[in-house]
């Protein structure tokens, strides 16, 4: 499709790419016991020669004027396939995988958690409830 047309349709809410950026950021913040002032999310069209290749989306947790937590998802033709985690601080960490196929990763998580899930009470269960995190984001 024409990149301008895709941008217009996204702005009008008639089409979307991936959804849930803000929710993903809030799950990370919840696991880190961090309360942002604002959570933002958005998507932009990735194009070449006026033709839409797909979308790049993000979610961000803001404290004061600083972006503290960010998630991104790149879903466009010929995008590099990898997962990356960057933790900035006194002892910065950067980890990058060689890529995980999303559907296979989702099924793997479901299969590995199936026995635990069937014994849970009804209601919302977050990953941080299943796999307790002990980290706290000090900001």
Spatial separation of the C-alpha atoms in residues 83 and 73, rounded to whole Å: 9
pTM: 0.80
Q: What would the pLDDT profile of 127-139 be if each residue is shown by its tens digit? A: 878 876 667 666 6
Write down the H helix ranges in 40-101.
none
Based on the number of CB atoms within 10 Å of its own CB, is 55 exposed (0-12), middle (13-18) or buried (19 or more)? buried
Q: What would the pLDDT profile of 8-49 be if each residue is shown by its tens digit? A: 999 998 998 889 999 999 999 988 889 999 999 999 999 999
User: Phi and psi dihedrals of 82, rounded to 5?
Assistant: -165, 165
Mean pLDDT score of the chain, rounded to an integer?
Answer: 90
Higher per-residue confidence, 14 vs 115: 14
pLDDT at 131: 75
90 SS3 class = coil
């Amino acid at each position: 499709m024409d990149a301008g047309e895709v941008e217009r349709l996204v702005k009008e809410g008639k089409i979307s790419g991936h959804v849930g950026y803000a929710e993903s950021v809030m799950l990370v913040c919840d696991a880190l016991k961090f309360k942002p002032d604002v959570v933002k999310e958005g998507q932009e069209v990735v194009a070449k020669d006026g033709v839409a290749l797909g979308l790049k989306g993000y979610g961000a947790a803001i404290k004061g004027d600083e972006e503290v937590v960010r998630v991104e998802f790149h879903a466009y033709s010929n995008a590099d396939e990898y997962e990356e985690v960057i933790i900035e601080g006194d002892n910065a960490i950067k980890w990058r995988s060689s890529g995980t196929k999303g559907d296979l990763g989702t099924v793997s998580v479901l299969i590995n958690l199936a026995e635990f899930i069937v014994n849970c009470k009804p209601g919302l269960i977050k990953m941080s409830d299943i796999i307790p995190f002990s980290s706290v984001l000090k900001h």
